[in-house]
Amino acid sequence: MSHLTLVSNRLPIRINEEGEVERTTGGLASALAGAGIPGSFTWIGWGGVNEEDIEDREDYEKKLKAVGVKPVILETDEFDAYYEGYSNSTLWPMLHYMKDRARFDPEWMEGYRGVNQKFAEVVAKEADQDGEVWIHDYHLMLVPKMLRKLRPDLKIGFFLHTPWPSSEIIRALPERNEILEGLLGCDVIGFHTYNYLRHFRSCLLRILGIEGESEGLWHGDRMVRMGVYPIGHNSIGFQEAMQSDTYREALALHKKRLDGGKLILSVERLDYTKGVPEKLDAIREFLKKNPEQRSQVNFVIIAVPSRVGVEEYNLLAETVQREVGAINGDYGEVGHSPVQFLHRGFPMEELAAFYALAEVCMVTPIIDGMNLVAKEYIDCKRKKYDARAGVLILSEFAGAAQEMSHSLLINPHDTQGVVKAMEQALAMSEDEMWSRVRAMQDRLARNDAGAWARHFLGDLDASGTPEHDPAAHETLAEVEANLTKHLAAGRKVALFLDYDGTLRDFVDRPEDAVPDASLLNLLERLAAHDSLNLAVISGRPKEFLESHIGHLPIDLVAEHGYYWKRLEVGEWELMNPHVDNSWMETVRPVLEWAVTLTPGSEIEVKTSSIVWHYRQADPEFGLWRAKGLLDELTAITASLPVSVHHGQKIVEVASQMVNKGVAADSLMRDWMPDIAFAAGDDQTDETMFAITPVCEDHFHTVKIGTGSTRAEHRTSIKGLRRFLESLADTLSQQS
């Protein structure tokens, strides 16, 4: 694996009061500490202090370099706009479905954009040639595209540690396009769950009009892979912590303080996404309904301070502390307060002791990207470390819920449901508790932080190979060299080119996909060479081809081979006058009904085919309808002489007696070239790739875009255009 550069908003260090560097224990830092990433790596991020507060910048950077980190140094104003502003007051609530909490300020976006550019520039300077870069979280979603421009040699990965919400939320973000396009600068984009990936794909489709598969999509000349990588916890770190003297001392101390009582534990960052007020509502209701438990249970809420100094979070802390006091006032007894609110962090050894002692751990966020507390709690339930049996109560809206099915899953908004889960947990036998714990521990052991990092970095390392990124290596240089060698020797070359999706991008209205001046000039330059024969073989009606490229000295094939216009004849003819199109009477009503059911769709009736277009329909509904229509048409046309295929935003039914392969084969037999080349993007072009060529040398076939194919090469529309332009330039030089 190449040298790795890790990039995150915050470095895993801080400068202490003595001016020395200390490691921190944030969520990302903790996960990566347990990941055991092989080889050396550099960590780039903000160091916790701004430029105005750094007395000696050279000394500051030197200290950080000694521990393998490189700071991005920011001024206070730009940090505030980027971090407190756009990242945490705009993106954070939006990503967590809390649109009503989001604030939109154009100046914040300017700050976010500027800081992301600074990060990209530092990474571009520090990263090794052909190295790998792993960018983390929502603070830096513009960096991939920026970095791609500065360092196209790098492999760039991005992992999102929060949820990715539905497109209805993201569409409200004014900068939605820029954010999505920024992420598409990656080679690999990772999410905690498939739901988040699915929502991201939906956003690309609905906002940018980019359709992809679950595993990825083509963007320009690159394959952008998308994957699900549920992050694991630092299992190694917690196992080591539980072997320490500090752990044993904390375990003994807290066990003594509990004095036989039961511990119901909560550990979370104090944030409005974590559902602490809702948790307190459930605790109040539990104590009200179960008076006999009031002296026996100890609710301990460890709330790590979050964004101290921000008014909204200060108000949340005050609200929580006030309600804790009210509950203790209503249900406490002399010498016993049922709820203890500890507004501070704890070292890993003492946290492990809390986990080991707790009969119940309540992880009840309103929404959470993953939540490692749930995994840490279960992992610390080890008899060899004197842990008690325990039960995990887990919000179904935490990403961890998909992996931890043996927990008691709850809806944090359902107060009575949470209370019932507490009652069930406290009444559960130890045997059942341990059975549930063991079932979840087996999975956690296979999917800790190390497995998470290895999985993601393995996919990043593999990106750009022929299996993952066909466009990255398909420059078609060898094909061009082969063709030009034949032309230089006076031998004959044939080119067969599809139009839509091959020579020209798709657009919402097919009639708008007219050739631009540069494409017309390119075709004319190619056709001018005496030894080169060129044909455009398209599904377009002959009227469209005649209107837009009929003046060029090239052969034209319309409607997939129903009509053709050969240079030697000069007018349109039927390729096969014996084609039977009586099947249309059966098929047309089905497609017309699909138009009725699908707003924005329409049918196009050609001489030998009927096409259902859904480019202007709702993208996801249109795709769903297309798949159902494909099944229906396949069934009703089983005995008819037609083929049915699903293309780019179309479903087409065409005569089996007409296809591009027959047209290409007929032209090739007329021309008898020494070498030939064919390019196309969809299923109709596969018939060209499948013909048995009559040329003496080689028949080069090229698939444009993704999907299975018989073609031997693969590239993009831009890649093909570059190839043809380079070929035309070479021919001009030869002449």
Instruction: Please give, one letter per residue, the 3-state secondary structure of 153-187.
Output: CCEEEEECCCCCCCHHHHCCCCCHHHHHHHHCCCC
- Checking if the pLDDT of 27 tops 70, the result is no
For the stretch 370-416, pLDDT in tens is 999 999 999 999 999 999 999 999 999 999 998 898 999 999 999 99
Q: Are residues 610 and 687 in the same domain?
A: no
For the stretch 304-333, pLDDT in tens is 887 766 778 889 999 999 999 999 999 999
Q: Write the CATH number for 692.
A: 3.40.50.1000
10 Å Cβ neighbour count for 267?
26
Q: Determine the average pLDDT of the residues in 256-268.
A: 95
Stated pTM of the model: 0.78
Q: Determine the average pLDDT of the residues in 641-654.
A: 87
- Checking if the pLDDT of 47 tops 80, the result is yes
Q: How confident is the model at residue 466 (pLDDT cuts 50, 70, 90)?
A: very low
Highest mean pLDDT among 221-235, 526-540, 570-584: 526-540
The Cα 340–Cα 672 span in angstroms is: 88
Q: How confident is the model at residue 34 (pLDDT cuts 50, 70, 90)?
A: low
Q: Is 498 a catalytic residue?
A: yes
| Final residue before a domain boundary, out of 655, 670, 705 | 655
Which residues are CB-neighbours of 646 under 8 A, at least 6 positions away?
Answer: 626, 627, 630, 683
Q: Write the CATH number for 628.
A: 3.30.70.1020
Q: How confident is the model at residue 429 (pLDDT cuts 50, 70, 90)?
A: very high
Q: Determine the average pLDDT of the residues in 531-555.
A: 94
Q: Are residues 274 and 290 in the same domain?
A: yes
Q: Are residues 127 and 245 in the same domain?
A: no
- Catalytic choice (137, 281, 448, 498): 498
| Domain limits for position 603 | 584-655
From 138-152, 263-277, 612-626, the region with the lowest mean pLDDT: 612-626
Q: Are residues 287 and 342 in the same domain?
A: yes
Number of domains making up the chain: 4
Q: Are residues 553 and 672 in the same domain?
A: yes
Asked if the structure places residue 462 within a domain, the reply is no
Put the strands of the sheet holding 297-304 in their side by side order: 339-342, 297-304, 262-269, 360-363, 391-395, 408-410
- Checking if the pLDDT of 501 tops 50, the result is yes
Angle between helices 276-289 and 311-331 (to 10 degrees): 10
Q: Are residues 171 and 27 in the same domain?
A: yes
For strands 532-537 and 699-704, give the pairing.
Answer: unpaired
Asked if the structure places residue 452 within a domain, the reply is no
DSSP string, 506-547: --SSGGG-PPPHHHHHHHHHHHTSTTEEEEEE-SS-HHHHHH
Percentage of the chain with pLDDT > 70?
95
Q: Determine the average pLDDT of the residues in 530-547.
A: 94
The Cα 678–Cα 494 span in angstroms is: 8
Q: State residue 309's pLDDT score.
A: 65
Residue owning tokens 């509904």: 621
Q: Are residues 50 and 164 in the same domain?
A: yes
Strand partners, 468: none
Q: How confident is the model at residue 118 (pLDDT cuts 50, 70, 90)?
A: very high
Q: State residue 424's pLDDT score.
A: 98
For the stretch 655-703, pLDDT in tens is 888 889 999 999 999 999 999 999 999 888 999 999 988 887 899 999 9
Asked if the structure places residue 165 within a domain, the reply is yes
- Checking if the pLDDT of 1 tops 60, the result is no
Q: Is 101 exposed, middle or buried (0-12, 13-18, 19+ CB in 10 A)?
A: middle
Which residues are CB-neighbours of 312 under 8 A, at least 6 positions away?
Answer: 272
Q: Are residues 663 and 704 in the same domain?
A: yes
Q: State residue 735's pLDDT score.
A: 64
Structure tokens at 148: 């791609």
From 55-69, 206-220, 349-363, the region with the lowest mean pLDDT: 206-220
Percentage of the chain with pLDDT > 90?
66
Q: What average pLDDT does the structure give for the chain? A: 90
Asked if the structure places residue 677 within a domain, the reply is yes
Q: Are residues 160 and 264 in the same domain?
A: no
Asked if the structure places residue 363 within a domain, the reply is yes
Q: Are residues 356 and 476 in the same domain?
A: no
Asked if the structure places residue 461 within a domain, the reply is no
Asked if the structure places residue 120 within a domain, the reply is yes
10 Å Cβ neighbour count for 391?
27
Question: 366: closest CA among 229, 162, 161?
Answer: 162
The Cα 614–Cα 619 span in angstroms is: 8
- Checking if the pLDDT of 229 tops 50, the result is yes
Q: State residue 28's pLDDT score.
A: 62
- Checking if the pLDDT of 4 tops 60, the result is yes
Residue owning tokens 């509950």: 327
Q: State residue 473's pLDDT score.
A: 36
Q: Determine the average pLDDT of the residues in 602-609.
A: 89
| Final residue before a domain boundary, out of 207, 228, 249 | 228
Q: Write the CATH number for 347.
A: 3.40.50.2000
Q: Are residues 651 and 525 in the same domain?
A: no
526-529 long-range CB contacts below 8 Å, 24 or more apart?
526/495, 526/724, 526/727, 526/728, 526/731, 527/552, 527/553, 527/554, 528/553, 528/731, 529/487, 529/731, 529/735
The Cα 97–Cα 170 span in angstroms is: 9
Which residues are CB-neighbours of 413 under 8 A, at least 6 positions away?
Answer: 278, 366
Q: Are residues 172 and 215 in the same domain?
A: yes
Strands (E), 212-327: 216-219, 222-228, 262-269, 297-304
The Cα 244–Cα 454 span in angstroms is: 28
Asked if the structure places residue 464 within a domain, the reply is no
- Residue 525 identity: R
| Final residue before a domain boundary, out of 629, 655, 681 | 655
The Cα 235–Cα 33 span in angstroms is: 10
Strand partners, 650: 613, 647
